[in-house]
Amino acid sequence: MITRYIKRIIPYQVLIAGILFQACQLPERSQPWMTSFEKTQINPVLVADSTFSFQGPMTGQTVHWQKADVFNPAAVVRNDSIYLLFRAEDNTNATLGHRTSRIGLAVSIDGMHFTKYPTPVLYPDSSEYMKWDWPGGCEDPRVVEREDGTYVMLYTSWNYDVARLSVATSRDLRSWTKYGPVFKDPAHGKFMDMWTKSASVVTKMKNGRLIAAKIKNKYWMYWGEEFVNLASSDDLVHWEPMLIDSGELLHVMDTRPGMFDSRLTEAGPPALLTDAGILFFYNGKNKEDGSGDPNVSRGAYCGGQALFDKNNPSKLIDRMDTPYICPSLPHEITGQYKAGTTFTEGLVYYKKKWFLYYGTADSMVGLAVMDDKS
């Protein structure tokens, strides 16, 4: 379904290429697998609110858990509604990376107007996972649905020392069971203390929802920040990273000199298994020293797309040379990260539209959509 649709939207993509984003251009030679999104007029769709509070289990004190910023959301469709699981930070006076993050939940029936649940659904607590989640908290969730209806969240545990990719599961999006860092066991813990984050699980369209897909009887996850690695799993909880013969991590995609992803290539929302291949959305960071893409602000985060072989998830087939979404609106170039950010993390298919949710300057949640013209 999605591949047929992607092929049909190319004329539409060309039509809107000149009006979508002021800070970047669509690729000069668009390929059938590439997609385009248009930012909505209602933007941002989620902002911080200091009136929300709860009793923090680590201190026993009242915490205004989304007082500072709300950004970088995951998205799923459940019971005919869109749910966002967003990152919220509490302390407006702390510097970037030195606040405590918690994951909140919000629901919408149109994808643009959201009602937030009163308390966070995933946060640092006094359990065995405290040593990884505290004091930095739980950051940047990506959520996928398993065939049995279980939701799997891959998020970053941040203890002000090492960022570790962690996993939790839920049946209702509100009560979550933590399992800790995903790489604490593989290779005898070799990668346990390595900086790991940002996971994009391969999904497929089933009955109008994105469901985690199996390829060769395994689930697959693109992950990483400075480069993209690949991991496989039998259950979406326990993961094995792909290694080269020397025992080091395999790089399936790297940064590129002189381009918008010259500094980082960080996995974005769930990847899509299509007839053409695996459509992988990622976030590229431009180098700060001026050696990156001259058409993109220094240090800015923009969205990119790549295509991997549908039968061999480690084989890169094609890749955009220019980003499809970049910071251009005022709230995308102000806030915590003033270099500019459109950090994509949430993607759902809802009422014949694709909804792409992204963090803006580490401060708010933005939205871009793509119509299904089938």
pLDDT bracket for residue 38 (50, 70, 90): very high
The pLDDT score that the predictor gives to residue 22 is: 38
In a domain, 38, yes or no: yes
What's the pLDDT tens digit per position in 78-131? 999 999 999 999 987 777 778 999 999 999 999 999 999 999 999 999 899 999
Range of 38's domain?
A: 2-44+142-371
Share of the chain above pLDDT 70, in %: 91
pLDDT band, very low/low/confident/very high, at 24 (cuts 50, 70, 90): low
- 20 compared with 347, residue with greater pLDDT: 347
What pLDDT digit, counting tens, does each position of 213-257 carry? 999 999 999 999 999 999 999 999 999 999 999 999 999 999 999
Rounded to an integer, the average pLDDT of 269-273 is: 98
Classify the phi-psi angles of 173: left when phi > 0, otherwise alpha if psi is within -120 to 50, otherwise beta. left
Mean pLDDT of 22-47: 78
**Residue 104 maps to a domain:** no
pTM metric for this prediction: 0.92
Non-local CB neighbours of 198 within 8 Å, separated by 6+ positions? 140, 142, 156, 165, 223, 224, 225, 266, 267, 268, 283
- 123 located within any domain: no
Taking 70 as the threshold, does the pLDDT of residue 4 lie above it?
no
Residue 352 domain-assigned? Answer: yes
Query: Is 289 among the domain residues?
Result: yes
When divided into structural domains, the chain yields a total of 1
| Contact by Cβ (8 Å): 20, 38 | yes
The more confidently predicted of residues 29 and 53 is 53
CA distance 329 to 42: 12
Domain of 16: which CATH number? 2.115.10.20
Residue 363 lies in a domain: yes
For the segment 284-338, what is each residue's pLDDT rounded down to a tens digit?
Answer: 999 999 999 999 999 999 999 999 999 999 999 999 999 999 999 999 998 888 8
Instruction: Write the secondary structure of the chain as one string of H (helix), E (strand) and C (coil).
Output: CHHHHHHHCHHHHHHHCCCCCCCCCCCCCCCCCCCCCEECCCCCCECCCCCCCEECCCCCCEECCCCCEEEEEEEEEECCEEEEEEEEECCCCCCCCCCCEEEEEEEECCCCCCEECCCCCECCCCCCCHHHHCCCEEEEEEEEECCCCCEEEEEEEECCCCEEEEEEEECCCCCCEEEEECCCCHHHHCCCCCCCCCEEEEEEEECCEEEECEECCEEEEEECCCCEEEEEECCCCCEEECECCCCCECCCECCCCCCCCCCEEEECCCEEECCCCEEEEEEEECCCCCCCCCCCCCCCEEEEEEEECCCCCCCEEEECCCCCECCCCHHHCCCCCCCCEEEEEEEEEECCEEEEEEEECCCEEEEEEEECCC
- Answer whether residue 73 is part of any domain: no
pLDDT bin (cut points 50, 70, 90) of residue 154 is very high
Neighbours of 58 (CB within 10 A): 16
93 belongs to a structural domain: no
Q: Which of 314, 330, 272 is nearest to 2 (CA)?
A: 272
